[in-house]
A and B are shown apart, each in its own frame.
Chain A
Amino acid sequence: MIFKRPSFWLILLIAAVFVYLPLRAEDAAMREDMILVALAIILVSNLNLMIGYTGYVNFGHIVFYGLGGYVGLYLVSVRGWHLPTAALTAGVFVSICALLFGLGVLRLRGAYFALATVGILQAVHAFVSNFDPWGRSTGMYLSFEAYEPLGGAMRALWTTYYLVVGVMALSLILSLVIKRSKFGLGLFAIREDEDAAVVLGINATVYKAIIYSVSAFLPAVAGALMFYKNGMIDPSIAFEYMLSIEGIVMLMLGGQGTVVGAALGAGLYERLRSYLLTSPKLSNFHLVIAGGLLLVVVLFASGGLIGWLYKFVPRSQEVVE
C-alpha cells in the first residue's frame, strides 16, 4: 500500500543517491560531508513527527541523539558488544526512557512542554557530565580494536555510512507511514485542536507520549552509529543545544508537516551552514542568520519551501508528501 505512494519511491531515490555518489567517486571527504547531511535528515524528519504532525515543539530533540550515542558507545567499548546490536539497543533504551518521561511531561500543553524540553536537555547533559561509568565530563573513547569486527577502521567508516543512510531512509519512510495512518490522523487532530481531539475520542497524552518516544528511536540509533564512527563522545558534543535549534530551522525551512520537507530543509541548510562556517566574516553570524531565516519562514512561509510548492502547484501534494 505504501508502495503505491510516489513519495515512497522518491525516498528510495534519495537513499540511492546517497549510496551511489560517494561510492562512485570513492571519495572519503564526500562521504564525510554526506553523512552529516544524512544525519541532519534523520534528526529533522523525526523532529517533524513532534512539530509538524503533532504541533508540539521539542527544543531538546538532540538529547535522543546524544543519549543514544552514549549508550551505543558504552555497549561497544565497555561491554564489547557488536555495533548493530548496540545501536538497536541504544534506540530501544532511549525510546523507552522517552515514553516513560513523556507520559509525565506530555500532560503539559504545547508551550509549556516546549519549555520543559530545554530543561530535559540540560538535565540529561548535567547528569551525564557527572555519571562515572560514562566518563563524566571527559566522556568515553573507542580503541581501534572496536573496529575489527567490521573489518578495520577504513571499512568500518564505509559500513557505518551505509547504515546511517539506511536509518535515514527508514526515518523518511516512517514519516510517510505515520502520515497515512490512523495514528497520524489522530496526531494531526491534536495539532489542529487538542481539546476537540480529546472530545472526539483521542487520548491525547498517550498519543503524544507515543510519538515522542517514536521520534526518539531512530535519532538514538543514529547517535550510536555516529559516535562509534567518530570514536569518542563527551557531554558537550553529545548534547549540543545549537544542533537542536538548527534542526528546528531546517524543518521549518523545508516544510514542517511534510515528509520530503525534512530532507529538503536539511540538505539546503547543510550547504548554507558549511559555507557560513568556512567564511571568516560570517562564522560569527551563524546564529543570527539561522534566526533570521527562521523568522522569515515563520512570518511569511510557515509551510516552508514545500508549502510554497503546494501553493503554486496544488497537484504536487499528492506526489511530493
Chain B
Amino acid sequence: MIDGVLVGAVYGLAAMGLSLIWGVMDVINLTHGAMIALGMFGMYLMFTATAMNPYVLLLPVIAIGLVLGIVVYWMAVHRVLGRSQLMSLLSTFSVNMMVIGIGTALWSTSPYNVNFTLPGITVGAYTFTGNHIAAASSALIIALALELFLYRTRPGRAIRAVADNREAAELMGISSTAVLAIAFGIGIALALGSGALVSTLFPFTILSGAVYQLKSFVVTVLAGLGKPLGALAAGVLLGLLEGAVTPFIAVSWIPLIEFGLFVVVLILFPRGIFGRATA
C-alpha cells in the first residue's frame, strides 16, 4: 500500500512532463512514452558504464533530457504549433515511432534491469524498499524544484506567461519560441528522469514507456494542466488505487482499467477536472 504511494510519486513526476508541455503550448506530446523508455535505457547504460549511484546519475540523465527535448521541439513541434492539434499529434507520434524503432533495433524487446538496491527501512512488521523511498524522494525533490522554478524565477515566470497568453507575453518582450523550446525541454527532461527512476524499481523493455505514458495521461486529466505539485498528488493517488486493486485483478487488466478511468474522467469533465479550458 505504502509502496503504491511511493511508486505513485514517480507516476506524478512522469505526468508533470506531459502536463507542462500540454499546459504551456497545448501540444499533447505523444513522444512521452518513448522518452520515458529512453530515460530507462539512459540510466541503464550509464549505470553499467560507471557503476555510480543511480540517484547521482539522475542528474546527467535529466540534463540529456533537456537537450533532447529542445532538439525534438525544433524537429517536430516548432513548425506545427500554429496548425491544428491533429498535426502536432501526428508529428510527435512520428517521433515516437522513430525512437521506438531505433530502440527496438538497438535493444530488441528483451527486458533490462538496473541492479542497484538500497537497503530498506523497517518499521514494525513492514519493510519499505529502499529503492522505492529513494525514487519517491527524488520525485518529490524534482517536483519542488520545478514548482520553485516556475513560480520564483524569471524564466519560470516567462514560461507561465507564455502559457497564459502567448501574444501578450511577446508584447512584453518575451521570446516565446525560446520559452516554448525550454518548456518542451523541461517536459522531456522530466520524462527521462521518471524513466530513470522507474528503471531502478522494475525490469523494463523498450516498450515499457507506453504503460507509463498511459498513467501520465490519467494523472494529468485528474490533476489538471500545468500544476507540478498537483500532478504529484494525483500520481500518488493513482499509485494508491493501483496498490488497492492489484491483489484482486491480473496485472494485464490494470492498463485497461486506467484507460477506462481516463475516458470516463474526460467524458464527465470535458475540460479537465480543474476546468482548464483548452485553447
Contacts and interface: CB of A to CB of B under 8 A. Distances in A.
Interface string A86-110: 0000000000000000001101111
Contacts of A248: 90, 93
B146 to A, nearest CB: 24
B102 A288 contact: yes
Given A115-B217, A119-B259, A288-B98, A302 B105 contact: no
Interface centre among B84, B91, B252, B263 (most CB of A within 10 A): B263
A115 B256 contact: no
A302 B82 CA distance: 13
Contact of A285 (B87, B89, B94, B105): B105
Given A108-B266, A108-B270, A119 B256 contact: yes
B80 A119 contact: no
Contacts of B86: 51, 55-57, 110
A116 B79 CA distance: 26
Nearest to A126: B256
Contacts of A288: 97-98, 101-102, 105
A295 interface: yes
B259 A111 contact: no
A55 B91 contact: no
Contacts of B102: 285, 288
Interface residues of B, number: 38
Contacts, number: 102
Interface residues of A, number: 36
B98 A295 contact: yes
Which label, helix, strand, loop or mixed, suits the secondary structure of the B interface? helix
Given A286-B101, A288-B101, A111 B256 contact: no
A57 B90 contact: yes
Contacts of A284: 101, 104-105
B267 A108 contact: yes
B96 interface: yes
Interface in A100-135: 104-105, 107-112, 114-116, 119, 122-123, 126
Nearest to A193: B84
B256 A123 contact: yes
A111 B28 contact: yes
Contacts of A108: 263, 266-267, 270
Nearest to A242: B97
Contact of B270 (A107, A123, A290, A299): A107
A245 interface: yes
Given A108-B270, A110-B86, A291-B97, A123 B105 contact: no
Interface in B31-88: 75-76, 79-80, 83-87
A141 B91 CA distance: 39
A105 B270 CA distance: 11
A298 B256 contact: no
A80 interface: no
Contact of B84 (A55, A105, A122, A299): A55
B255 A122 contact: yes
A119 B262 contact: yes
Interface in B192-212: none
Which label, helix, strand, loop or mixed, suits the secondary structure of the A interface? helix
Interface in B250-272: 252-253, 255-256, 259-260, 262-263, 266-267, 270
Interface in B202-242: 214, 217
Given A57-B86, A295-B76, A298-B80, A122 B259 contact: yes
A291 B89 contact: no
Interface string B104-131: 1100000000000000000000000000
Contacts of B28: 111, 115
A215 to B, nearest CB: 16
Interface centre among B79, B90, B104, B259 (most CB of A within 10 A): B90
Contacts of A55: 84, 86
A252 interface: yes
B252 A291 contact: no
A265 B35 CA distance: 29
A55 B157 CA distance: 34
A112 B220 CA distance: 12
24 contacts: A51-B86, A104-B267, A110-B89, A115-B28, A115-B262, A119-B262, A122-B255, A123-B256, A123-B260, A245-B97, A284-B101, A285-B105, A287-B104, A288-B97, A288-B98, A288-B102, A291-B94, A291-B98, A291-B101, A294-B97, A295-B94, A298-B80, A299-B80, A299-B91
Interface of B: 28, 75-76, 79-80, 83-87, 89-91, 93-98, 100-102, 104-105, 214, 217, 252-253, 255-256, 259-260, 262-263, 266-267, 270, 278
Q: Top 9 nearest A-B pairs by Cβ distance?
A: A291-B97, A287-B101, A288-B101, A119-B259, A291-B98, A294-B94, A295-B94, A284-B105, A291-B94
